[in-house]
Homo-oligomer: A and B are copies of this chain.
Amino acid sequence: MNIAIAQLNYHIGNFEKNTEKIISAIQRAKQNKVDLIVFSELCVCGYPPMDLLQQSDFIEKCNESAYTIAQECDGIAAIIGCPTINNNDNEKPLYNSALFLHNKRIANVFHKTLLPSYDIYDEQRYFEQNKTFELLEFKGKKIAITICEDIWNINTTHAPMQEFLKHTPEMIINIAAVPFAHNQEYINPQISQQFSLPIIYVNQVGANAEIIFEGASKVLNAEGKIVCELQKFSEDFATINTEVDFLKQGDVASPYNKIETIHNALIFGIGDFFAKNNFTTATLGLSGGIDSAVALVLLTKAIGSKNIRVLLMPSQFSPDHSIADAKQLAENLGVHYDIVPISPIFTSFRQSLHPLFGDLPFSVTEENIQARIRGLLLMAVSNTFGNVVINTSNKSEIAIGYSTMYGDMNGSISILGDVYKTDVFALAEYINTRKEIIPNNTITKPPSAELRPNQKDSDTLPDYEILDAILFQHIEQNRSLNEIISQGFDSKIVVEILTRIKQSEYKRFQTPPILRVSSKSFGSGRRIPLVAKY
């Protein structure tokens, strides 16, 4: 049997475009004499559709799309992901389903059993779980049709795969929408080894604000060896012949480079955010520091230097080298820049506020006014020229609240908000591998917000190596205060950092969407009460 894998980039709610893409892939598959083409989870509407699933006309559109696609399925069968209606009263109104399309109709429907409700997932909010387990029989083969997590957790009581195995399937098809995280692998050789069955795993690719889907669909043989793998961060299409390819030896996995993967994921995430929103141009504040430098390089790689104009907004405290470094980077990249010194506006604010503040000493108020003037100037550029403001905060500073609301926290999308400061440095080194794009001085000088004379991050923060290690333990690894201290970290520093994380929850509530590249990013995957004492 010839099976095609269509790894496509769907746009949530864009039924016309999604249907067109799916039909186009079916036509390509027909030309390739494919018997069955497989698409990913909820492909007709895109994933995750969230509360759009609660709108009746949205579900009608899903249904219409499925029927339209079915009309193309003559001489070929297709598996598509689509929400379907559950008519049982007092249950959730929908199923997350795989439709088997054949002979121009919806010939069979399979529902998802294990509905993730953790981190960024809320599937139990919308879907009822499947309770029946039948195989698909097609071209003399018995196939288990599974959706995403249904293939895992074989040891769970009533795991769907336990039920399917009772009917002795010959292969497993898994349609999925698996968010990318650099420190997680979702499909691994052990999975097909434990079933001794080949697996065809079809993931979506694309980025939807926070969440990035990497693609990397694959076919594993019964020994758990990868016999076919599709591209990462790109649409792709492959055809296998089950009689031939399931018997292949399998490839050796390519070596994994964390920083390279994050680098590629972010560029893809930025590009798709712009494409799906019909945005073309961007702006950001280029300070001469490392965060805005790395952000600008990634942005340039994603949307092109001619679509970017940056602002250099030196304060009275900015040393000359900052402006020089920022200029140098903009020139290296061929990005248009304007210099707007903020001192005159700052002076105007101080004069207007003098009747209220009198001669109070320079404080965090004045630091924040400067950060907010910068944020305001970027928004003015955005309003006038249509350039989308890019937020350049990193995960370390977002974690401990070392950034100014309505100032440097502004932006439509945060590029580095899930990247720790130490990894921002590593990204800079990676970017400079072949030649110096980011000025070395930007990488080697001590980080500073330059909001008061001779300010350095290290005045008020622990060393970033230590900070990031503690943050990782608490955020990604979910370790408690005592557990982290017992790992050997200085208890005073751990207490201080965990306290700052809690105290800055209110800032994160108003943070732009953050491109998620780790297993635990700030945003919809981490939900902490705002009014809590803990």
Q: Which residues of A contact B (CB under 8 A)?
A: 11-14, 17, 46, 48-52, 54-58, 88-90, 117-118, 122, 124-125, 153, 155-157, 159, 207-210, 273, 276-277, 338, 340-342, 344-345, 347-349, 351-353, 355-357, 360, 363-365, 368-369, 372-373, 375-377, 379-381, 383-384, 405-406, 410, 412, 478, 480-483, 506, 509-513, 524, 526-534
Contacts and interface: CB of A to CB of B under 8 A. Distances in A.
A380 B348 CA distance: 13
Nearest to A159: B90
A90 B57 contact: no
Nearest to A116: B125
Contacts of A512: 509-510
Contacts of A347: 348
Given A375-B406, A513-B509, A349 B57 contact: no
12 contacts: A11-B532, A13-B533, A90-B157, A90-B159, A276-B531, A340-B356, A342-B352, A344-B348, A344-B351, A349-B376, A357-B384, A369-B376
Contacts of A380: 349, 353, 357, 365, 368-369
The 5 closest A-B pairs by CB, nearest first: A13-B534, A348-B348, A90-B156, A365-B383, A209-B530
A12 B55 contact: no
A532 B276 CA distance: 8
Nearest to A206: B531
Most buried by B among A365, A406, A513, A532: A532
Contacts of A124: 117, 124-125
A345 B340 contact: no
A90 B349 CA distance: 58
A50 to B, nearest CB: 5
B529 A209 contact: yes
Contacts of A528: 50-52
Contacts of A13: 529, 532-534
A439 to B, nearest CB: 24
A379 B351 contact: no
Contacts of A210: 530
Nearest to A478: B54
A478 B55 contact: yes
Nearest to A340: B352
A503 B428 CA distance: 35
A131 to B, nearest CB: 12
A381 B345 CA distance: 17
Contacts of A54: 478
A276 B530 CA distance: 10
A526 B410 contact: no
Contacts of A11: 531-533
Contact of A356 (B48, B276, B363, B381): B381
Given A117-B117, A368-B380, 19 more contacts: A11-B533, A49-B529, A56-B478, A57-B480, A90-B153, A90-B156, A90-B159, A122-B122, A122-B527, A209-B530, A340-B353, A344-B348, A353-B380, A356-B384, A365-B383, A368-B383, A373-B376, A412-B506, A510-B510
A42 to B, nearest CB: 12
Contacts of A412: 506
A209 B14 CA distance: 34
B377 A376 contact: no
B383 A376 contact: no
Contact of A377 (B90, B352, B513): B352
B90 A155 contact: yes
A258 to B, nearest CB: 25
Contacts of A17: 533
A534 B56 CA distance: 13
A272 to B, nearest CB: 8
Contacts of A406: 372, 375-376, 379, 406, 410
